[in-house]
Amino acid sequence: MSRFVIKNIENREQSEGAGAKVRRSIGTGQLRNLDPFLMLDEFNSGEPAGFPDHPHRGFETVTYLLSGKFEHEDFCGHRGVIEAGDLQWMTAGRGIVHSEMPIGKERSHGLQLWINLAKEYKMVEPSYQELKDSQIPRKSENGVHVKVIAGESMGIESPVYTRTPTMYLDFKLEKGASFTQAVPTDWNAFIFILSGSGLFGAINKLVKGDAHYTLVLSPGDSVHFKNEQSELLHFVLIAGKPLNEPVVQHGPFVMNTQEEIYKTFSDYQNGKNGFERAPGWRSKGIE
């Protein structure tokens, strides 16, 4: 049975981090949690704005850069530059402190998705899966272009391991193009439109979606979309298997109970249980 649009919400711009601007989709009052997703921000800022030194525990951050350059650096000395088209899938697990800063005169435009981790994985060792643009599988057919960031589309599968089963597809549709994407039936799914406009949902129940809107989909085994405009339609389709666990979030800490959040604050302030390097760490910035 095809999925159809059940919510169509505008992603309004707001300030975040240090002088940065984001359009928040998941994570606002209207879309508090779409289990297993905690937040989706479309960021679009240039130096000196950004996201300076901050911690994470209990979930994953997925940064996908659409244009510009981003430097990230964490308290274990892992640092690097994320460029246009690149992906950084960071499993914060038991604890990461890092900075994420645009570099260069060009504005850095991209998406950051926060995916919750099941109780059994919340305290895993931090790890990264980092793919350059050229390493992300893609396919084009009949005016439909897809980059497979996670999951599978058009017979192409991403190499990314998703502890929380996740599908993350970057679609571009030319005028007149259409496609039906299979999505696991019991997963929560939504579409985030970056540019252009299109028709989405069930073939006999299509809803118009515009740039900077989030379309939450009903349960079902597929979703159909098409572009009838001359402007290229660019959107991401994201779906994930719900964890069905209690969510207790305090900013960048996401656990299952209030006690675990208190413990997390204590670990972060006292440098314990994964935050050993946190006290006194400062990012070096661009060297």
Ligand X SMILES: Nc1ccc(F)c(C(=O)c2c[nH]c3ncc(Cl)cc23)c1F
Indicate the residue among 63 and 164 with the shorter CB distance to ligand X.
Answer: 63
Residue 105 zone, left/alpha/beta (φ > 0; ψ -120 to 50; rest): alpha
Based on the shown chain and the rule CB under 6 A, indicate whether residue 60 belongs to the binding site for ligand X: no
Which C-beta is closer to ligand X: that of 114 or that of 225?
Answer: 114
Binding of ligand X at residue 74 (CB under 6 A)? no
Q: The tokens 């290229």 sit on which residue?
A: 232
What is d(CA 250, CA 256) in angstroms, rounded to the nearest whole number?
11
> For ligand X, which residue of 126, 151, 198, 252 counts as binding (CB under 6 A)?
252
- Residue among 46 and 201 whose Cβ is closer to ligand X: 46
- Of 15-23, 158-166, 174-182, 229-237, the window that binds ligand X (rule: CB under 6 A) is 15-23
Contact status: 73 vs ligand X (CB under 6 A): no
- One-letter amino acid of 19: G
Subset of residues 90 to 129 that bind ligand X, contact rule: CB under 6 A: 100, 112
Are 26 and 40 spatial neighbours (Cβ–Cβ below 8 Å)? Answer: yes
Which H or E element spans position 269? Answer: helix 258-270
- Write down the least CB distance from residue 185 to ligand X, Å: 30
By CB under 6 A, residue 22 contacts ligand X: yes
**Distance between CA 264 and CA 231 in Å, rounded?**
47
Out of 31, 44, 46, 51, the only residue in the binding site for ligand X (CB under 6 A) is 51
Instruction: State in angstroms the smallest separation of the CB of 154 from ligand X.
Output: 29
Asked whether the beta carbons of 83 and 102 are under 8 A apart, the reply is no
Site string for ligand X, 207-226 (x = CB under 6 A): --------------------
Smallest distance, ligand X to C-beta of residue 73, A: 12
Q: How far is the CB of 100 from ligand X (least distance, A)?
A: 4
Query: How far is CA 168 from its chain centroid?
Result: 8
Selected from 2, 7, 16, 212, the binder of ligand X by CB under 6 A is 16
* Residue pair 252/56 in contact by the 8 Å Cβ criterion: yes
Query: Using only C-alpha atoms, what is the Rg of the chain?
Result: 19
How far apart CA 229 and CA 205 sit, in angstroms, is 18
Should residue 49 be labelled a site residue for ligand X when binding is judged by CB under 6 A? Answer: no
Question: Which one among 63, 153, 166, 214 touches ligand X, defined by CB under 6 A?
Answer: 63
Residue 164 to residue 88: CA distance in whole angstroms: 16
- Could you tell me the two tokens for 270? 């006292």
**Where do contacts with ligand X occur on this chain (CB under 6 A)?**
16-17, 22, 41, 43, 51, 54, 63, 100, 112, 251-252
